[in-house]
Amino acid sequence: MSFLTKLQINSVRNINRLELNLDPCLNIIFGINGSGKTSILESIHLLATGRSFRTPKTESIIAEASAELTIYAENELQSRIGLSKGRNTKHKLKLDSKLQRNWELVARALPVQVVSAITFLLLEGGPKSRRMFLDWGVFHVKQSFVQDWRATKKCIANRNLLLKERRIDASQLEVWNEELCLYADRVDEARREYFKEFGPVFRKIYDSLVPDASAESISLEYWRGWPEDGSLKEILLAEKERDHRYGSTQNGPHRADLRVKAGKRMASDVLSRGQQKILICALKIAQGVHHASCSGDKCIYLIDDLPAELDEENRASILKYLVGLGNQLIITGVDLPSIVNCLSDGAEKRTFHVERGTIGNSLL
């Protein structure tokens, strides 16, 4: 699914009913704060991944006066994705009228990348956000990864149950250690392969967006989740008492991290908010570029409040790069000129003005 042509949203936050006919390249959604423009991006992300990028509680985004939200989208080949979710009922997800048990096929059919205030967690937050970022890329290029990762999480969950017991059943712990090591090595290998390919793509894009000497100080490091000087099996045996004390597994692929540094320090401790946003955009753009090179399918970029934290020169640089990729872009901002003025003359676009959850189609 290269780009969306139609989007219908019902009962998401302050949006009662909304329908958009989207441009295959650039779409700009503008309006005052609280008008509902971010909710449009949130709806696309929810449809594509099963979760909001603003809150972990899906029920909380259902409009107050409604019992259920629905989101529907079509692409240029008329492939269809539909989602409904009630406050107290399980979701129903369909891909081309076929009910889906999970989001695996939909996520592959509708790959999206988000840049929002929340994505500053890639630099400022804990390892979980960076691990999710890394695994998005691995998921889309290695088909077996999702099964290996699910098996890994099952092993860790069962091992943790044993560790919470007052007395550990040594034979059962050994069984889960063996299973965990098997799948952990597969997950680690897949992540390493992806990271090795992703690094040069990111480097090229970041250098293009920040063409000065300071760009050389930015580096990425992959941490697998346990020390490099030993096997996971050895670490689990050595750390058994510590794990028992904490009641959880302290080493493994669930502790992996993608460390982003400026020189020898973490990038979040050195860079300004504007510099961080450029770095985040480079990371997200690089994932989309790498995904396209491996799969032949372009992802959709959802960019919330692009002008925030960025001066006009850097906005123009990022927009020029994104538009040049030929991906579908859906960008929000408080005022239209702050985005349009950064575009080259004659750039094709479709604009939408949002007010109180309703939208008017304004073509420029």
Cβ atoms 228, 202 nearer than 8 A? no
Rounded CA gap, 149 and 260, in Å?
A: 23
Q: Is 213 exposed, middle or buried (CB count within 10 Å of its CB: 0-12, 13-18, 19+)?
A: exposed
pLDDT in tens, 291-304: 999 999 999 999 99
CA angle 301, 215, 191 (to 5 degrees): 55
Among candidates 61, 55, 60, which has minimal Cα distance to 118? 55
User: What pLDDT, on a 0 to 100 scale, did the predictor assign at position 211?
Assistant: 82
Distance CA 260, CA 195 (A): 13
For residues 49 and 290, give the distance between their C-alpha atoms in angstroms, rounded to a whole number.
19
For 156, what's the count of Cα atoms within 13 Å in the CB-facing half-sphere?
Answer: 17
DSSP string, 55-74: -S-GGGGB-TT-SEEEEEEE
Architecture of domain 124-272: Up-down Bundle (1.20)
Q: How far is CA 232 from CA 132, 169, 214, in A?
A: 21, 20, 37
pLDDT of residue 227: 95
At 349 the pLDDT is 92
- Phi then psi dihedrals of residue 116, to 5 deg: -150, 180
Q: Where are the domains positioned within the chain?
A: 124-272
> Which ranges constitute the DSSP H helices of 210-357?
232-238, 240-246, 267-270, 273-295, 312-325, 337-340
Question: One digit per residue, pLDDT tens: the chain, 364 residues?
Answer: 579 999 999 999 999 999 999 999 999 999 999 999 999 999 999 999 999 999 988 899 999 999 999 999 999 888 999 999 999 899 999 999 999 999 999 999 999 999 999 999 999 999 999 999 999 999 999 999 999 999 999 999 999 999 999 999 999 999 999 999 999 999 999 999 999 999 999 999 999 999 875 555 899 999 999 999 999 999 999 999 999 999 999 999 999 999 999 999 999 999 999 999 999 999 999 999 999 999 999 999 999 999 999 999 999 999 999 999 999 999 999 999 999 999 987 788 999 999 988 876 554 4
Instruction: State pTM to two decimals.
Output: 0.94
* Torsion of Cα atoms, 283 then 343 then 53 then 270, to 10°: 40
pLDDT tens-digit series, residues 102-132: 999 999 999 999 999 999 999 999 999 999 9
